[in-house]
Amino acid sequence: MAKRTGVSIIKGIWIRLLSILVQFTFPAQFTVFLHRLRGVKIGKGTKINRTVQIDDSVPHLVEIGEKVWVTAGVLILCHQRDLSTHKKGKAVMDNDLVYNKVIIKDGAHIGIGAIIMPGVTIGEGAVIGAGAVVTKDIPPYSVAVGSPAKVIKTIE
């Protein structure tokens, strides 16, 4: 784990304060503005509901394209515990964190309450159903639903 410095601690506090402020924003353009201040890369015309939670540890690893709609209650994560060396008698928290980008391409739609896991790319024009848990890449112009999310339709 990297050693924390005064600058990294202040940056972490700043990111978390902005994520708290996001919960009280209106309209969506202001919400997007605050997420950009946190380091999230967001394209033009994108709308993000104020109840969306974007990774507090490494928000700069999230890239959201143009004209994307991220609806209420969505959770976007860029870090998780590395369980490849987990064993009996070891606490899960003793495992290192691994970090991966999340990329949501232009024109995608993320349904209410979806969870986007680290390392996932959601293709252009893809639709993620409400409550889906996206653990793998979703191809462009497809509809994915369920937990874990599976493609159920390709849009022609």
CA atoms within 13 A on the CB side of 124: 4
- The DSSP letter of residue 96 is P
What interhelical angle do 28-38 and 6-22 show, nearest 10? Answer: 170
- The DSSP letter of residue 77 is -
Within 10 A of 70 (CB to CB), how many other CB atoms are there? Answer: 29
Q: How far is it, in rounded angstroms, from Cα 128 to Cα 116?
A: 10
Active site (catalytic) residues: 60
